[in-house]
């Protein structure tokens, strides 16, 4: 892991602050992104880039700051400080034409179930200047046999496919995928992965959040790990965590006790054990750490460091009159509002910006964890 994530990112100093130096190949650039609610800091100096055509997995435990980061990049929530550019624009000021270049697949939806799959997709397609053909999208998500079925009569996995279809109908340049395969059976998950690979091959940039680490490993080019509002590591899927985190483990049973040893030469160690035991040791196996193993190590270390820092702070400030931490607000409005589409009577473009609840009121809404 690098000593500083910022050391990997191109920045230009201007008055002591980070300024984004974007290139045509950069889809998303974030520098020193911060979001606070009263005394609670949801994001604390997050910085990263996503290149065009890349699939980037944003990982982290519930409450880590993923939701806040994504909502800022979607243009749904304002940042407290820092810089952000998405497809060349500041998401805080993005207009309708910019928003029409985005696709958003939310974790939970509130779309009407009283229309058919085809009716819903046809309705949404009308919001975009260059939508995909409705038949093409229905086929891509495998709902040809259900295109005339009311959405409320679909299974959970089939409704999730409708969510994905709504996210890609506008032919987005950047697709936000929030826990896209929650509720999918194994076969449906594999089919969805193929769809995402197809979109990637067409040049779509994808920002993925998921708790399925095998999904991140299958689909992601790179990953960033957020914990406690900070980006604790970033890198290629097969490099994140550093070389030490990926050293294989040899595990075996000896006299009824499970033993294990980390080594860069697992075959040599196994050969030595075979020679010492006049045969293969009981239950011997070589375990190569997966992305999930590396992720858990990173998050555990970050949480331990956070507890130590909190304990030190309490010792230094024994009389702490600060108010309790506010939870980051998250809109409880219908998710069609978050998408920015006023579906009932509006003929506006799909990303008309909603009015937000007061962000200073911690009781107005609660953050949805990812």
pLDDT, tens only, 325-347: 444 444 433 444 445 443 333 34
pLDDT > 70: percent of the chain: 75
Task: Give CATH 3.40.50.300 domain extents, the chain.
Answer: 5-240+331-338
DSSP helix, strand, coil percent of the chain (3-state; round to 5): 35, 25, 40
Indicate the pLDDT class of residue 49, thresholds 50, 70 and 90.
Answer: very high
Q: Note the pLDDT of residue 192.
A: 85
Q: Is the predicted pLDDT of residue 26 greater than 70, yes or no? A: yes
In sequence order, what are the beta bridge partners of 14? 17
Indicate the pLDDT class of residue 317, thresholds 50, 70 and 90.
Answer: low
Q: What is the mean pLDDT of residues 109-133?
A: 88
Q: Hey, what are 247's tokens?
A: 């050293």
Indicate the pLDDT class of residue 45, thresholds 50, 70 and 90.
Answer: very high
CB contact at 8 A, 55 and 202: no
Long-range contacts of 134-142 (CB under 8 A, 24+ apart): 134/169, 137/165, 137/168, 137/169, 138/165, 140/165, 140/168, 140/195, 140/198, 141/165, 141/195, 142/191
pLDDT, tens only, 165-208: 999 999 999 999 988 887 777 887 888 898 899 899 999 999 99
Phi, psi for 28 (deg, rounded to 5): -135, 130
Q: Note the pLDDT of residue 336.
A: 44
Q: What is the mean pLDDT of residues 348-355?
A: 41
pLDDT, tens only, 228-279: 999 999 999 989 888 888 889 999 998 889 999 999 899 999 999 999 888 8
In this prediction the pTM is 0.74
DSSP 121-183: HHHHHTTSSSPPPHHHHHHHTT-GGGTTSBGGGS-HHHHHHHHHHHHHTT--SEEEEESTTTT
Q: Any idea which residue has 């197809």 for tokens? A: 198
Torsion over CA: 233, 236, 241, 243 (sign): negative
CB contact at 8 A, 208 and 217: no
User: 5-240+331-338 has which CATH code?
Assistant: 3.40.50.300
Residue from 19, 37, 137, 132 nearest 85 by CA: 19
Residues shown for the chain: 370
Report d(CA 113, CA 149) in Å as an integer.
Answer: 10
């Amino acid at each position: 892991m690098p000593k500083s994530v910022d050391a990997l990112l191109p920045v230009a100093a201007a008055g002591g602050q980070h300024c984004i130096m974007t290139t045509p190949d950069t889809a998303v650039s974030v520098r020193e992104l911060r979001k606070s609610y009263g005394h609670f800091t949801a994001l604390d100096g997050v910085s990263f880039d996503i290149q065009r055509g890349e699939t980037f997995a944003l990982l982290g435990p519930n409450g880590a700051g993923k939701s806040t980061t994504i909502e800022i990049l979607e243009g749904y929530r304002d940042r407290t400080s820092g810089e952000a550019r998405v497809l060349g624009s500041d998401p805080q000021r993005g207009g309708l034409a910019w928003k029409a270049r985005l696709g958003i697949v939310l974790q939970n939806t509130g779309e009407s179930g009283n229309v058919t799959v085809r009716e819903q997709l046809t309705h949404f397609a009308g919001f975009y200047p260059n939508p995909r053909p409705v038949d093409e999208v229905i086929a891509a998500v495998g709902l040809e046999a259900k295109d005339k079925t009311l959405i409320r009569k679909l299974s959970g996995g089939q409704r999730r496919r409708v969510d994905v279809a709504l996210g890609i109908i506008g032919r987005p340049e950047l697709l936000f995928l929030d826990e896209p395969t929650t509720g999918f059976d194994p076969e449906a998950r594999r089919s969805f992965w193929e769809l995402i690979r197809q979109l990637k091959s067409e040049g779509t940039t994808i920002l993925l959040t998921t708790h399925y680490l095998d999904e991140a490993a299958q689909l992601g080019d790179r990953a960033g790990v957020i914990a406690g509002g900070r980006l604790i590591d970033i890198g290629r899927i097969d490099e994140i965590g550093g070389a030490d985190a990926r050293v294989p483990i040899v595990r075996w049973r000896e006299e009824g006790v499970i033993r294990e040893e980390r080594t860069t030469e697992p075959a040599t160690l196994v050969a030595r054990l075979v020679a010492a035991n006049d045969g293969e040791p009981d239950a011997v196996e070589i375990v190569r750490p997966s992305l999930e193993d590396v992720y858990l190590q990173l998050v555990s270390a970050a949480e331990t460091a956070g507890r130590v820092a909190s304990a030190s702070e309490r010792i230094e400030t024994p009389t702490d009159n600060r108010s309790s931490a506010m939870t980051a607000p998250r809109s409880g409005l219908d998710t069609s509002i978050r998408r920015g589409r006023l579906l009932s009577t509006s003929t506006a473009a799909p990303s008309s910006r909603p009015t937000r609840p007061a962000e200073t009121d911690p009781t107005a809404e609660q953050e949805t964890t990812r």
